[in-house]
Structure 1
């Protein structure tokens, strides 16, 4: 687009499912004013030369295709403000997925967002609601419930495909009834804890009067009480024929025998035993009893299990779930998960097209789950995303099993430690430090997985003050051979062994220098490969004409942020950028970037969204005088 005073720069960034709430609400008010008060001739168009194609002369379909590659909400907002035509094209991508924080002073901006003149509302497909992170939470949930009611009343009918209430708080049953009445084409359904029983009313009215389950293909179940178990059973039973994805995450109160909670359910009653089915399996899948003669889910290809004891029910799950069709399997903190891995290793249950495997588990003293997982990795084939996070293990998963998926592997996250679940690792190495692959194993993985785009693992110990060790250099050389890697996550920190730890600002400055060196190392390794061997697969540098590295993000540490859209203080992310040095030459530079912003700058960084069980604090001292250089007193 080459108009003199009205040039719009359309960047080739990528789009993520959610947009930040402050940007979203401000954009809504601006878009409303743009659509109503601005004249349609806000831009004077100069007629192009005869026979010359410009962006203005392109068909609307091509403009939509171009704008669909813009992911950052602020860039989409700027495109919307150009003129009415681009406003109508770009607004559908800006509003496709909306995330809002409720229960704060920003709720006053919802009036502009819900205005009937806001043409973007009809393009909304995903709506995620959060509780705002505020200091004063008095009556916050009541205010958020009212704001949710207002949103559901004002948005157009039958437009949503997914609705999520993200905090683990009771949701209003009246708001849920309104949602089911006005949005009957949702493909994603959630069963959550409500403020009053709802299963009887749902079974009596909604199934007969509304087409609630006609479009449902994905189901998330979060049972906490016996009422939500019955609620979940109704949803599973009515979506069984078309269900493609199932998420099961029970969150029961399993306190001791003297627990005062009326919803307390002891584990012996909740889980299966050697003599019969437990409350969880027997209630949720009661319509399939007896399991020996039941018909498995026909379309189920994605399964995510949280906190389900598999000791006596692994074989039962293999009866009503056809694991041979499974493409995405995620197992989080399920006791006795080794029994499930053992069942999946049998020929009649072995997944044939497993693409994503994610395991987070606390192993026993014999490391039975690790051994069973190694065996499963050697039997399945074609895994593209592999994420493993193990606690209480003596070694990491075998390199041979991971290397066997080298031709298809694109995302790899391997973490393990000998510490129990939930412990916090301090700055100095200890017996519970995160396990690190030996250089031979990592080199074997890197040579096999040439298509790897995202890598997350711990690196050997290195001092923030001294030159890199031989092990660190070997890791750097092995990973630099991955020419397609875009995001590199190093979960361990360079050590800070000094009489008094450096303040945060000094440590981060040195860390930024190390990140810049890593970017230089990857770029120089790619150029050396191009000069001595086959051309690399990276983009070609305009300065030298040689291939350059595709590495764009380097992250240190492990995020400890529970609020998923808040930046963590224990993780630093650096974006590959450029700067002009004192001689006027362009140099590679590592620019710090926030966790929230990086998903709009580089969407191929979802490896950073994985929640790891460990928390490693940055080896710095924070305090009142932590920003002073040369301050040797401990804060």
Structure 2
């Protein structure tokens, strides 16, 4: 019987194997092996394309758009970003011209999603309406439609075009609305009405900022400014947002909710009076993904969802970013909602101005299904437009008993993000830190990514360490966690009384723990019964980058690896890894993509001057 090799496999099996390759560089190298592998690897390589436009590298577009490029027809998602250049003069015009070339030379009807980076392109700079109309005319299979700020009103042209009306909305399953003015509200209403029957995901980002709050913004024409009282719903009736975007469904008391809507994401939408509006035209019993970002009155929505007529039947993910009031009404409503709903797989909670973390009872209810958990809370919340001198307030941490309850119940957890107690890098970890190690590493056997948002200090020293030295000490701490996970030893809870009195030289290991006759340690250390052997990635700090193609300067990541000692022994090693690269090495790290909007600068000295290595700042110094 012939030996089974990769060449003997069927083409379908080979394609499945190639799809498991995540890193674009590896796919590129695979394309260069031979023609057969080229035809297999080129599809996943070109499936998702991100381009930086508006720089000197735009000249490479001619080779990318060449008809001899076999990968063009395999593009399904195209995302555009503004390149970072020193001289940004006329950059928007250059980027618009490059976008026009892309849309002109791309093959017909290949794109399923077209997006431009909202963080550095829109909403401050309007997108070209001519380019958008060209996109709708040439790409008629788009599944995700976006309504963004444009340089002119395109609604009359869209209604006039028979081709766009017949083809544009036939495949749309996702609708993202980013209205900033009345013109965009009217355009959003047309898109919602045409996609209502097949709509599965709805995103509403209603950040109507005042001109003085915007960066590089132009003054609004007279009569275009919208006050929050006019925009949001009130006790007397719907606001401008709901009565314009969903006007075809009014009156809401007798409307038919969206039939297929399963995912809802709201940004800066007032939900104080949601029972008469949002709960009317959205059937929350069908919602599987619910994401609320800075929505005032979120407690009112959770109160409605606790009722049997609105309680989601199969809620898969819940994402809440909120600033609570003095009575913590949103946190109380969230705890009650978590105790009623069931089956959550991804739970993300980031609340400010609260007195405590979400109750463990609501989280443990989802212990059999929860795979990703990210919980963060702080007692204070500085103004969004005023940067405090010492950053945001410190995060709240769980009591050891609460954390143990969560870890023992959530046995399927693969990704965890939370704040840890502070400990010194130049001393043995304190008892509270060891309790966190034992609770997490001894119970979460399937844990892959561990995100610790708090940086450890170097007390009792009063001087900050240079960044190079701090990274080395933090790397040793990550190695300790990896070693404990794969088979090392951890401080047992029974040994607390034995080790708590150890100070000075004893804490550094000069006095060994008592041993049994066979030489094994007693009480001081204990082997973890169920170790997190799958743990591969540990991150410290919070990323300060929303742009996914740059590494963060205030977050340190370590990947579990191995190293050889001088005697040839294999040991666990924590290898530093970039924020961008980790998604291709370990895809189960999307908990790091959650934007927490917190200021956590690393406690180290910046620059070479911290080590005394500065050579001056001459003109030729690079």
| Corresponding residue for residue 417 of structure 1 | 378
| 1:303 counterpart = 2:287 | no
| Corresponding residue for residue 500 of structure 2 | none
| Corresponding residue for residue 368 of structure 2 | 407
| 1:499 counterpart = 2:466 | no
Q: How big is each residue's C-alpha offset from its partner over 1:334-380, in whole Å with a ceiling of 9 and x where there is no partner?
A: 01111111111111000010010000000000000000000000000
| Corresponding residue for residue 451 of structure 1 | 412
- Flag as ranges the 4+ runs of structure 1 deviating above 6 A: 423-428, 526-529
Does the aligned pair in 2 maintain the 1:503–1:627 contact within 8 Å?
yes
| Corresponding residue for residue 513 of structure 1 | 476
User: 2: CA distance between counterparts of 1:379 and 1:526?
Assistant: 39
Secondary structure of 2:167's counterpart equals coil
User: 2: CA distance between counterparts of 1:115 and 1:255?
Assistant: 43
User: 2: CA distance between counterparts of 1:209 and 1:220?
Assistant: 18
Instruction: Give the CA deviation at 1:483.
Output: 1.0
Which segment drifts farther, 138-147 or 311-320? 311-320
Aligned mate of 1:440, from 398, 401, 404:
401
Cα RMSD for the two superposed structures: 2.2
Which segment drifts farther, 402-411 or 59-68? 59-68
The structure with higher relative contact order (CA 8 Å, sep 6+) is 1
Q: TM-score, structure 2 length as denominator?
A: 0.87
Q: How big is each residue's C-alpha offset from its partner over 1:313-353, in whole Å with a ceiling of 9 and x where there is no partner?
A: 34410110000000000000001111111111111000010
Instruction: Give the CA deviation at 1:519.
Output: 0.4
| Corresponding residue for residue 569 of structure 1 | 553
| 1:372 counterpart = 2:333 | yes
Instruction: Give the CA deviation at 1:495.
Output: 1.3
Aligned mate of 2:563, from 574, 579, 590:
579
- List runs of 5+ in structure 1 lacking aligned partners: 1-49, 530-545, 630-635
Instruction: Give the CA deviation at 1:420.
Output: 0.9
Secondary structure of 1:625's counterpart equals helix
Does the aligned pair in 2 maintain the 1:496–1:620 contact within 8 Å?
no
Aligned mate of 1:218, from 171, 174, 188:
174
Q: How big is each residue's C-alpha offset from its partner over 1:566-609, in whole Å with a ceiling of 9 and x where there is no partner?
A: 11111001010111111111111111111110000000000000
Instruction: Give the CA deviation at 1:615.
Output: 1.6
1:190-209 equivalences in 2 (<5 Å): 190-206=146-162
| Corresponding residue for residue 183 of structure 2 | 227
Q: When the two structures are aligned, how many residues end up with a matched partner? A: 562
Does the aligned pair in 2 maintain the 1:427–1:617 contact within 8 Å?
no
Secondary structure of 2:611's counterpart equals coil
CA pair 89-256 structure 1, distance change in 2 beyond 3 A? closer
CA pair 276-207 structure 1, distance change in 2 beyond 3 A? farther
Instruction: Give the CA deviation at 1:461.
Output: 1.1
User: 2: CA distance between counterparts of 1:254 and 1:155?
Assistant: 38
Does the aligned pair in 2 maintain the 1:129–1:164 contact within 8 Å?
yes
User: 1: CA distance between counterparts of 2:274 and 2:159?
Assistant: 28
CA pair 426-552 structure 1, distance change in 2 beyond 3 A? farther
User: 2: CA distance between counterparts of 1:372 and 1:254?
Assistant: 31
Secondary structure of 2:87's counterpart equals coil
User: 1: CA distance between counterparts of 2:309 and 2:396?
Assistant: 34
User: 2: CA distance between counterparts of 1:505 and 1:525?
Assistant: 27
Secondary structure of 2:487's counterpart equals helix
| Corresponding residue for residue 35 of structure 1 | none
Instruction: Give the CA deviation at 1:234.
Output: 0.5
| 1:558 counterpart = 2:563 | no
| Corresponding residue for residue 345 of structure 1 | 306
Does the aligned pair in 2 maintain the 1:393–1:417 contact within 8 Å?
yes
CA pair 157-527 structure 1, distance change in 2 beyond 3 A? farther
Q: TM-score, structure 1 length as denominator?
A: 0.85
Does the aligned pair in 2 maintain the 1:425–1:433 contact within 8 Å?
no
- List runs of 5+ in structure 2 lacking aligned partners: 493-529, 614-622
User: 1: CA distance between counterparts of 2:190 and 2:58?
Assistant: 34
Q: How big is each residue's C-alpha offset from its partner over 1:604-632, in whole Å with a ceiling of 9 and x where there is no partner?
A: 00000000021211001214412349xxx
Which segment drifts farther, 461-470 or 482-491? 461-470
User: 1: CA distance between counterparts of 2:462 and 2:323?
Assistant: 36
Aligned mate of 2:220, from 261, 274, 288:
261
Secondary structure of 1:596's counterpart equals coil
